[in-house]
Structures are given as structure tokens and as C-alpha cells.
């Protein structure tokens, strides 16, 4: 496989809107009402999420800001997956990423493949892990030569924006023109399922035939997003499936991995 195809920080388990896989193999389920109700500007249980109307997302900036507020100072597990099938090359590239955030200074990150730019030179890693705790920040990865290496990156640093890719996807794909919004229930909490399609998006590489589904909590947290689209022209195009899902909000904990070796 041409490893130059590896996307930076991309990745995880495709999550359907009806359920979200957890890292221990269980399933956290969002149960739809027996008959999905079309959403209006308000329902008998309260208002729609910020920026959302009964026809879709009218103000994606408001929704994105609400999503960021909902995840700020919050522990969570975020799983992301991207699958890219290239027509001419007859190959599929799958990348997967799991982020576990406990607090501002403690997190764990893993991806099956990652590319890092080092002085204008791309370095490709398999099975890349990163952990930060009170006593420092560590990485572990497998080089192209098959050797697994571990490094300490120094003292604890401010937590990076580990879910930035998710917020970028919200800003890009939840602007679809033609969408339906229905009410879902989960232990008494209101969620809204958004489904829609759009023929084209104008980007650096035009994308077409976009299909989007998302589950949005009443306060604007986008619990899950799933997108499918065609990118490029008919001869050299590729079919892309991308998704993310937030789990264990407020209950995620992060323990020091067994591979971390400290100087103590």
C-alpha cells in the first residue's frame, strides 16, 4: 500500500445513529421514539439545539460553539473512523483513532496509522500511542522498519485540541441544504437525529453525492456524525466514509498504560 495515502490524525469504528460502540465492547444505545416525530422549532419538552431548526442546521457557527461548550472541561471518549476506497488503485485505506480525555492534563490517544512532519520530511508510524499524565508526556509507535520505539516528550503540556477534527467535520458537513430532523429519546434526555443529502460541496477537491446523518443532544453536543461522499472526478475519484462518536461523557477515566516507563 502507498503509505503516502495515510491521512493525518484520521480514523474509527463507524457508528450508526441508533447506537454507539464502547471501547469495552458494549453498546450505548440511543433509542428512537416508536414513531420518529418531525421536530419543530420547539417541542413539548423544550427547544431544539442551538442553530438547529425543523429543516436542518440554519446556523452551523452556533451549533459548533454549543458543541465546544458541551465538551469543554468534560471527560469523554471520542472514536473516529475514515475509510477511503480509490477507484483506479482498487484499494481501501482504513484509519482509526481513539481519544480518551480525563481532564485538562490527562489524556490518551491511539491511531492505527499516523504521519508526522519533521523538518519538511514525512515520517510514517503504525500503532501510534500517546499518553499524558501528571508526570509527563509519552509516545510509542512502530517505525517502517518494524521497530517499536518509545519516547518521553518532556513535562506535561497544555492538552492539545484532540477533537478538532470532529468540530471541523461539523462545520463542513452539517450545512446541508436538504435535511430532516426527528426527535430521539435516551433515558429521558432529548436528542435529535438529522439526516440529509447534498449533491455537491465546493472544496479544494470537489465532493459530490454527500449523505449525512447525525445525532445531536438538546444542548448542541453532536454525539455522532456519519458522512459518505464521492471525491474527485469519475476517473480518479474515491469513495469516502467518515464518522465519529462521543461516549462516556463525564465518566471517562485514563490510567497510565503498561508501556509507559518513567525514570523513577
Confidence at 258, pLDDT banded by 50, 70, 90: very high
Residues contacting residue 35 through CB under 8 Å, at least 6 positions apart: none
Main-chain phi, psi angles of 222, to 5 degrees: -85, 100
Confidence at 20, pLDDT banded by 50, 70, 90: very low
**130 domain residue, yes or no:** yes
pLDDT for position 228: 96
In 5-157, the DSSP E strands lie at: 19-21, 27-29, 31-38, 42-43, 46-47, 52-53, 56-57, 76-86, 91-101, 107-118, 121-133, 136-142, 148-154
pLDDT averaged over every residue in the chain = 80
**263 domain residue, yes or no:** no
**127 domain residue, yes or no:** yes
Confidence at 245, pLDDT banded by 50, 70, 90: very high
CA contacts within 13 A on the Cβ side of 204: 0
pLDDT one-digit tens code per residue, 25-43: 343 444 444 344 555 544 4
**28 domain residue, yes or no:** yes
pLDDT for position 161: 81
* Domain span at 136: 3-247
Main-chain phi, psi angles of 3, to 5 degrees: -70, -10
**87 domain residue, yes or no:** yes
pLDDT for position 158: 62
pLDDT one-digit tens code per residue, 133-177: 988 899 999 988 889 999 888 766 666 788 999 999 999 999 886
**26 domain residue, yes or no:** yes
Q: How many domains does the chain have?
A: 1
**105 domain residue, yes or no:** yes
> What is the Cα 200 distance to its own chain's centre?
22
Average pLDDT over residues 214-234: 93
**184 domain residue, yes or no:** yes
pTM: 0.78
Amino acid at each position: 500500500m502507498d503509505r503516502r495515502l495515510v491521512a493525518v490524525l484520521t480514523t474509527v469504528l463507524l457508528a450508526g445513529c441508533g447506537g454507539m460502540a464502547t471501547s469495552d465492547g458494549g453498546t450505548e444505545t440511543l433509542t428512537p421514539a416508536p414513531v420518529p416525530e418531525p421536530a419543530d422549532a420547539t417541542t413539548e419538552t423544550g427547544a431544539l439545539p442551538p442553530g438547529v431548526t425543523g429543516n436542518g442546521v440554519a446556523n452551523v457557527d452556533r451549533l459548533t460553539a454549543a458543541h465546544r461548550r458541551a465538551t469543554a472541561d468534560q471527560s469523554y471518549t471520542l472514536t473516529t473512523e475514515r475509510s477511503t476506497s480509490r477507484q483506479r488503485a482498487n484499494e481501501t485505506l482504513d484509519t482509526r483513532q481513539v481519544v480518551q480525555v480525563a481532564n485538562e492534563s490527562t489524556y490518551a490517544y491511539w491511531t492505527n496509522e499516523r504521519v508526522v512532519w519533521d523538518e519538511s520530511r514525512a515520517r510514517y508510524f503504525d500503532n501510534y500511542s500517546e499518553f499524558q499524565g501528571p508526570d509527563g508526556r509519552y509516545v510509542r509507535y512502530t517505525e517502517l522498519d518494524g521497530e517499536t520505539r518509545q519516547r518521553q516528550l518532556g513535562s506535561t503540556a497544555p492538552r492539545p485540541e484532540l477533537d478538532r477534527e470532529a468540530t471541523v467535520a461539523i462545520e463542513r458537513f452539517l450545512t446541508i441544504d436538504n435535511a430532516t430532523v426527528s426527535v430521539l429519546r435516551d433515558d429521558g434526555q432529548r436528542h435529535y437525529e438529522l439526516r440529509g443529502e447534498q449533491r455537491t460541496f465546493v472544496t479544494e477537491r470537489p465532493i459530490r453525492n454527500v449523505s449525512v446523518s447525525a445525532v445531536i443532544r438538546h444542548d448542541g453536543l453532536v454525539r455522532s456524525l456519519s458522512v459518505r461522499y464521492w471525491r474527485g472526478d469519475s476517473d480518479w475519484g474515491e469513495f469516502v466514509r467518515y464518522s465519529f462518536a462521543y461516549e462516556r461523557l463525564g465518566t471517562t477515566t485514563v490510567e497510565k498504560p503498561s508501556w509507559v516507563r518513567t525514570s523513577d
